[in-house]
Amino acid sequence: MGVKYKSVAKKNPRNAEDIKYYIQQVRNETIGRREFEVAIIEKTALSKAEARGVLVTIADVIREELLRGNAVKLEDLGTFSLRLKSEGAETPEEVTANKLKNVSVGYRPSGELVESIQKIKLEKTE
């Protein structure tokens, strides 16, 4: 079974008459916490409660470490870190916390994960 995709028309923002077609993934579904727990249970000797505890703990630890200003690197998965966006300032002295516009969580996949997804098989759908 492969990853399903469809073709999608997109206009050139500079020339509305210039249309090209691109691949867009068709997602089957979004796996939630419960489905994730079941997958962990099937692959390990953990109970449902233990699997849930592991997932909650992982989320808690990642959140706590990001709030401490640390990045979290899970070798097989990737690295989570904070991304800060701010307004520009004319001098270094003018750079203060008040210039902060947005904080988000960044994710950089591991080389191993990137390598494995490069091998996907595609199936065209309508």
pLDDT value at residue 79: 98
Residue with tokens 């089957």: 28
Look at residue 88 in the predicted model and tell me its pLDDT: 94
H or E element that contains 11:
strand 3-12
Interval 47-93: pLDDT, tens: 999 999 999 999 999 999 999 999 999 999 999 999 999 999 999 99
* Measured distance CA(75)–CA(106) in Å, rounded: 16
Q: How confident is the model over 15-33, as a mean pLDDT?
A: 91
**pTM for the complete prediction?**
0.78
The average pLDDT across 35-47 equals 95
Q: Mean pLDDT of all residues in the chain? A: 94
pLDDT at site 39: 95
| Residue 1 scores a pLDDT above 70 | no
Q: How far is CA 88 from the centre of its chain?
A: 27
For the chain, give me the number of helices (H) and strands (E)?
A: 3, 6
